[in-house]
Structure 1
């Protein structure tokens, strides 16, 4: 049925700072979701190749520190460069299995020189086509020591059966104007991706659902000290101040009325699968629609720059 969508929330850990091995885990999750007839699968923020946990554990703000430099260099080398074909296998799987994918990656884009990295949310449709790459607008706090600020190019939505789906990275979901931009494009299934932990997902997921009268899917990753590969550079320094659990999950789904469909799942590795019904969107929009009948564009409007930003522009 066109109004029903079977979704999978992939709450998994990365093979930390290892792009190739983490992509293998992503591929297996897509295969597993396809075997359950899922039509959309979502992964956490920066899953490939993982979140920069070292920044908070090794004195990340200390200037010219060897630990930070060496870990950053490894991070950049394991980042995803889409134009080099790093996601080709994911696209092929999506097409083969007729499943759409939202994947959080650390991106090393060639259109910005190829040396800086971005926390990007990639949407691959069920035909295996990359339709948007949203670079996180504002890295949060210590993330700014390794991630660069993105642009508005990826503030886009996509058709998926009866739904219109869009997404944001982590604390971007607290930013009212990017949310409004997606609402204005007709979003009614909002994807929020997180590095992990229910302290992020337990409030904002229901808030966005109630504000937008949309379904909201929040997906987080997992990370424990046991998940750090033994060959991680400066592992002893990282583990010295690390709690046993760095990311406990918290993936969840809220309905258009702001109530839980799936409450935050903690310490659960694998797929969380649910069927959502688009008709619920129309039911809740009856009394509130933030960009429709309950808006006043004659009083307040939002202007959005969706141009892909680059330092250099060449005239042909």
Structure 2
């Protein structure tokens, strides 16, 4: 592991359900991180094209059009969006970890919540599909597998990644620890609605995830990067314009 190491954790919103524009935004952020001396940049969960917050807000019967849009804007690990990021990583000599909604070559309706790790030479070092989509995510994504539970050697160290709720999975975490992980990336959505804010019973998601990140770093003897998405005004206004009744949930959820 090189020393010292500079990394960039991206807390930014995608261009909602627009993979081309979001890829362009990601490239701009990669360039900024490289200018500031980062050797590794980590993007949030499904940064391209967005995180499907609507699956928490409305019944599946009301979300068909949004699923169609999500499927149409999801990306292939071998498609032009990832190819563009690979070229940028190679040009700048920076490692890139990015969450995507992954499309399938076999079926237009099969999607995965995935993370791609690109090396400083532009090679895809790891392609990880989230093992089990969490809660309402099952309405959007299929289950993944253990093939992506890998730690990759990079110039900044041995890098592993888990997506969102996988960071609560002791066996998934141990799989990375056992491979001498040195830098652990945990990627998260912009918000996580589970209950109406006034109904009681909500836990402090930010505090809970901070505890998880600290615990993994302590147990793995690794550095941790926590990267969460951001819900900008455009995304918020789209959701509320569709149903003004969800404003309290969208505005009151961590």
Q: For the superposition of Structure 1 and Structure 2, which TM-score range results when normalised by the shorter chain?
A: 0.7 to 0.9
Give the 3 Å change call, closer, same or farther, for CA 117–239 of structure 1 in structure 2. farther
Report the secondary structure of 1:223's partner residue.
coil
Which residue is 1:70 aligned to? 65
Give the 3 Å change call, closer, same or farther, for CA 154–246 of structure 1 in structure 2. farther
Q: CA deviation at 1:18?
A: 1.1
The 5 Å alignment of 1:119-138 reads 119-138=113-132
- d(CA) in 2 for partners of 1:35, 1:217: 19
The 5 Å alignment of 1:37-186 reads 37-60=37-60, 65=61, 67-110=62-105, 113-161=107-155, 163-186=157-180
Q: Which runs of 5+ in 2 are unaligned?
A: 192-205
Give the structure with higher Rg (CA): 1
- d(CA) in 2 for partners of 1:207, 1:216: 10
Give the 3 Å change call, closer, same or farther, for CA 247–95 of structure 1 in structure 2. farther
Asked whether the 8 Å contact 1:195–1:247 carries over to 2, the reply is no
Asked whether the 8 Å contact 1:17–1:75 carries over to 2, the reply is yes
Report the secondary structure of 1:115's partner residue.
coil
Asked whether the 8 Å contact 2:151–2:160 carries over to 1, the reply is yes
Asked whether the 8 Å contact 2:102–2:113 carries over to 1, the reply is yes
Q: CA deviation at 1:237?
A: 2.6
Q: CA deviation at 1:227?
A: 2.4
- d(CA) in 2 for partners of 1:77, 1:48: 12
Count of aligned pairs: 239
Asked whether the 8 Å contact 1:76–1:117 carries over to 2, the reply is yes
The 5 Å alignment of 1:271-282 reads none
- d(CA) in 2 for partners of 1:86, 1:189: 25
Asked whether the 8 Å contact 1:3–1:161 carries over to 2, the reply is no
Give the 3 Å change call, closer, same or farther, for CA 139–238 of structure 1 in structure 2. farther
Asked whether the 8 Å contact 1:82–1:109 carries over to 2, the reply is no
Q: CA deviation at 1:213?
A: 1.5
Asked whether the 8 Å contact 1:58–1:237 carries over to 2, the reply is no
Report the secondary structure of 1:51's partner residue.
coil
TM-score (norm 1): 0.71
TM-score (norm 2): 0.87
Q: CA deviation at 1:152?
A: 1.0
Q: CA deviation at 1:116?
A: 0.7
1:17-71 alpha-carbon deviations (Å, 9 max, x no partner): 11111111111100101111210000000111111111111224xxxx2x31111
1:134-157 alpha-carbon deviations (Å, 9 max, x no partner): 000010000001111101111111
Which residue is 2:229 aligned to? 221
- d(CA) in 2 for partners of 1:239, 1:9: 32
Q: CA deviation at 1:85?
A: 2.6
Which residue is 2:19 aligned to? 19
Which residue is 2:218 aligned to? 210
Asked whether the 8 Å contact 1:103–1:123 carries over to 2, the reply is yes
Report the secondary structure of 1:20's partner residue.
helix
Q: CA deviation at 1:199?
A: 4.4
Q: Which runs of 5+ in 1 are unaligned?
A: 249-316
1:48-101 alpha-carbon deviations (Å, 9 max, x no partner): 1111111111224xxxx2x31111010000001122332111111100100000
